């Protein structure tokens, strides 16, 4: 069985987008700075799995939407957008 380069690249980018990015944004928002690279990646992965689990449960509880890949990606984008807006708001508030 042959696995193409595009499949591997899509898998890696999907892991980064769905799991690592939400966890990293939460770490940045909490201002956790005393971790090295490996600890940051591991903590981001763990937090991201928790966020993805919460999104998945919320989507599966909505009867009309359901849990599919076409609903998980926009829901994750909404959570990422909300996290980014919260970070911008907090940093703007502290700058004053």
- pLDDT tens-digit readout, 8-62: 898 899 889 889 999 998 898 888 889 999 999 999 999 999 999 999 999 888 8
Residue range 60-68: average pLDDT? 83
Residue ranges of domains in the chain: 5-95
Polymer length of the chain = 96
- pTM flag (> 0.85): no
């Amino acid at each position: 069985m042959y696995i193409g380069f595009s499949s591997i690249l899509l898998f890696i980018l999907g892991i980064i987008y769905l799991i690592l990015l939400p966890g990293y944004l939460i770490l940045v928002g909490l201002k956790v700075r005393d971790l090295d690279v490996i600890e940051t990646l591991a903590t981001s992965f763990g937090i991201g799995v928790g966020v993805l689990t919460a999104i998945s449960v919320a989507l599966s509880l909505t009867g009309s939407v359901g849990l599919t890949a076409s609903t998980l990606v926009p829901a994750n984008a909404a959570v990422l957008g909300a996290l980014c807006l919260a970070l911008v708001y907090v940093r703007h508030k502290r700058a004053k």
